Structure 1
Amino acid sequence: MDSPFSNIIRKYQSTFHPVVKMEPGEKLLTLDLSEQNRSLSDEVLADTNRFAGWINQQLEQAGCRFAIGGYRENRKVYQTPLFAAEKPGDEPRTVHLGIDIWGPAGTPVYAFMGGMVHSYAYNKADGDYGATLVLLHQLDGMAFYTLYGHLSLKDIQTLSAGQYIIFGQPMAHFGPPSENGNWPPHLHFQVILDMELKEGDYPGVCRWSERDKYFSNCPDPNLILQLLPT
């Protein structure tokens, strides 16, 4: 059964601006970063340059500019030492809660609808979001948030909380590794119903045992992106 949120989003889907612009009929590579992907070694995942080279190789072989995927994916990358559990013996966070669009640094990111800047932050630790923006939206009386991670640092340096972002506005760009948490360039796009008083940050990955709780608060971003088959 569809949720009230998904019903409202589907009602307005045809009016949304692309978050990342694609050419008409452009092919996208669906990227598998799950633990089932045996071609991803720990050595590749532990080195940004090697990881970026692996992604670029996948794109080149597929003849694509962009790769996409990740929602609800139990990821191998989060099982490397960089993402070890907070305390020895704790369950690690490995389940991805957003959709990633992998592509060149500097790729513009657009507002799919109008919204207000809720918060932003520079989460600069290795493996974190880097430059991060959170917008607040409202449709048919329902408030919700969208999070944009791994942005260019300059994109958040002129923002202020409460600032209005208009439909279709080029509001950000894919950041380089030095500004995006030391990841290969990409956009992490996540939908959040309740920010739980957090500002400029919200978990993009959860523990397997907590997945149902987080899935209910972070609906499928493809409802907005409309880039993957439904």
Structure 2
Amino acid sequence: MTIPTPLERVLQKYSNDFIPILDGFAKEHYTLLDLSTKNPALGEIDITQVEGCQKYVDGIVERQNAKVAYGGYLEQRNLYSGNGHFAGAGDKRNIHLGMDFWAQADTRVRVPLSGKVHSFKNNSTSGDYGPTIILEHELEGMVFHTLYGHLSVASLNDLFVGKEFQAGSIMASLGTPDINVNYAPHLHFQIIDDMGSYYGDYPGVSTANDLKYYANNCPNPNFLLKVD
């Protein structure tokens, strides 16, 4: 049995209830989405293309009578295949470090717990996050961060380092594929223990060789959100 890290224990204790991260949807509106390499249903679908990915997501949401598809923590995916942003000299980056929430563009994003802006940036390279916001939080003396990627450009308006957001407040909205650099609309949400020197960005996909470090530094967002 894996022993929770100190941050994981703090996140678990924060709330016993589901915490909505997208505005207007209750827990029953969410359905689990499998984009992993182990999903045989993806064998005939090119999810690296916006249209193919969107069609598959929409089909899952419709069949489950849901409104939001979610999942992806430590999921190995083909979604990044062929994109130079994820290529390397050796081991390729294809293991997802956050949790994704697939919903319509312009869906509003809620802050799951109070914090202040650490940094923000439009990571506009194809395959990256697009507009990104990182918040800093402190719970029980522990400082950590949350990252929100694939946002609209308007989400970065009027931001400044140190700006405070209260839990449950609206902070941003989801971007369209042309803005979120070639993905079907969704929120990438990631919890980060040690940000290091990163500013407005942090790796959201890992190689197998680096996974032990990143899995420890980026705990499962469900410890906090309790979507399952």
Consecutive unaligned residues of structure 2, counting only runs of 5 or more, are none
1:1-150 alignment, distance < 5 Å:
1-14=3-16, 17-21=19-23, 23-24=25-26, 26-41=28-43, 44-78=46-80, 80-83=81-84, 86-87=87-88, 89-150=89-150
Root-mean-square deviation (CA, aligned residues, Å) is 1.9
Return the TM-score normalized by structure 1: 0.91
Distance 1:23 1:124 in 2: 29
Distance 1:208 1:186 in 2: 24
* Contact in 2 for aligned 1:16/1:112 (Cα 8 Å): no
* Contact in 2 for aligned 1:17/1:111 (Cα 8 Å): no
Which string of whole-angstrom CA distances, capped at 9 and with x for unpartnered residues, describes residues 175-194 of structure 1?
11111121101110000001
Distance 2:163 2:56 in 1: 38
- Count how many residue pairs are aligned between Structure 1 and Structure 2: 226
Consecutive unaligned residues of structure 1, counting only runs of 5 or more, are none
1:181 aligns with 2:181: yes
Which string of whole-angstrom CA distances, capped at 9 and with x for unpartnered residues, describes residues 41-60 of structure 1?
47622321222122112211
Distance 2:19 2:34 in 1: 26
* Contact in 2 for aligned 1:150/1:174 (Cα 8 Å): yes
Distance change >3 Å, CA 42–CA 83, structure 1 → 2: farther
- Cα deviation for residue 18 of structure 1 reads 2.2
Please identify, of 185-194 and 105-114, the stretch whose mean Cα deviation from structure 2 is larger. 105-114
Return the TM-score normalized by structure 2: 0.92
Q: Secondary structure at the match of 2:214?
A: helix
* Contact in 1 for aligned 2:48/2:78 (Cα 8 Å): no
Distance 2:133 2:27 in 1: 29
* Contact in 2 for aligned 1:118/1:135 (Cα 8 Å): yes
Please identify, of 19-28 and 136-145, the stretch whose mean Cα deviation from structure 2 is larger. 19-28
